[in-house]
Amino acid sequence: MSDKSPLVLLVNGSPHPHGCTAVALEEVALTLEKEGLRTRMMHIGQKDIRGCVACGQCGSLGHCVFDDAVREASAILEEAAGMVVGSPVYYGSPNATLLAFLDRLFYSKSFDTTMKVGASVVSCRRSGNTASFDVLNKYFTISGMPLVSSRYWNNIHGFTAEDARKDLEGLQTMRILGRNMAFLIRSIELGRSQFGLPEAEKEKYFTSFPDGL
């Protein structure tokens, strides 16, 4: 594997570094590496990460005002060709630390993420997986990042890591996700070299309505 091979950032939002979410992400990472891509895993679930305070300083600084894992991830994502985000299900939603991390990461970044590819991975004991999956995917779809799909929604089931390793369908879903991500990254890389990126509009519009409505 070359140092110039495309890089994928994987973020584990679970407080358990070796739990169910890690099992899923590690399966994706292993597949990406077999496909010749580089991976970088970040475990942020036990870090002290506060939510966005809407200070607006990132607009002038070019990065979040708080110096924590968000800044580290931002530097990696700027280089990366893709990103995979993993979360357990807490009350039918991704866990709070990960959401605070993603809010600040995507709002404060000063670089263009157009055509970097994104995917989310969710682990749960029983349910809440598709609702959490939808929440995580929205960070990518608002940022010009194509979503990578698999043979099923990207989730794995289990209460423990040992349980998750028995979910053969879930593990297969992660491997297919990894291969599809590698293919999409390579395809976009090829398209960029031949056709360039989609034309960007310089002026950014915000929804407004005439007076009186």
Q: Are 23 and 160 in contact (CB under 8 A)?
A: no
Task: Render pLDDT for 12-46 as a digit per residue (tens, 0 to 9).
Answer: 999 999 999 999 999 999 999 999 999 999 999 99
Q: What is the pLDDT of residue 199?
A: 93
Q: What is the pLDDT of residue 1?
A: 64
Amino acid found at 26? E
pTM of the model: 0.94
Percentage above 70 pLDDT, the chain: 98
For residues 94 and 133, give the distance between their C-alpha atoms in angstroms, rounded to a whole number. Answer: 8
For residues 132 and 155, give the distance between their C-alpha atoms in angstroms, rounded to a whole number. Answer: 10
Fold of 7-195: Rossmann fold (3.40.50)
Of the candidates 83, 82, 4, the residue with the CA atom closest to the CA atom of residue 36: 4
Question: Is the per-residue pLDDT at 4 higher than 90?
Answer: no
User: CA-CA distances (angstroms) from residue 152 to 72, 130, 149?
Assistant: 31, 11, 8
Backbone angles phi, psi at 42, to 5 degrees: -120, 130
For residues 22 and 131, give the distance between their C-alpha atoms in angstroms, rounded to a whole number. Answer: 20
Question: Is the per-residue pLDDT at 174 higher than 60?
Answer: yes
3-state secondary structure of 153: coil
Task: Render pLDDT for 134-149 as a digit per residue (tens, 0 to 9).
Answer: 999 999 999 999 999 9
Q: Are 84 and 181 in contact (CB under 8 A)?
A: yes
For residues 196 and 169, give the distance between their C-alpha atoms in angstroms, rounded to a whole number. Answer: 37
Structure tokens belonging to residue 146 = 């194509």
Averaged pLDDT of the chain: 95
Q: What is the pLDDT of residue 212?
A: 56
